Amino acid sequence: MRNLLYNAQNGDSDATIILVEKFKPLIKKYATQLNYYCAETDLVIALLELISSIDINKFKDGCDGEIVNYIYITLRNKKIDLYRKSKLHAIEEIHIEPETFTHMQTNGSLNITSPMDWTSILNGLSEK
């Protein structure tokens, strides 16, 4: 693993491809969990950036498990970041026209048209 990383950092495209293929099952798993278009591509890009920036000297000689674990944790953290970003983009504002809103009460219905009525109703809502 150490040699593959070293070779990939020095421009060996075959070593880079081998590393990407080695982590492809994990990337596919995370992309499925993210469930948005191009999630797999985003994770592959994150892996390529990690490969180029990882400091091999931080790891013990001959300890591939430590390197694999580091890459695994980094990809998991990237998945979490991508999930948060995708959810932020999914939040949309809801616009309600006051003329069309009707609040039902037990004794009938009440048409709410003034901004004061809207404010009191919206302030009464829970965070959820």
Residue predicted with more confidence, 84 or 104: 84
Q: What is the pLDDT of residues 41-70, one digit of tens each?
A: 999 999 999 999 998 888 877 678 888 999
The pLDDT-based confidence of 93 (bands split at 50, 70, 90) is: very low
Task: Please give the pLDDT value at position 16.
Answer: 92
Domains of the chain: 2-90 (1.10.1740)
Q: Is the pTM of this model over 0.75?
A: no
How much of the chain, in percent, has pLDDT values that exceed 90? Answer: 37
- The full DSSP string for 59-86 is SPTT-HHHHHHHHHHHHHHHHHHHHHHH
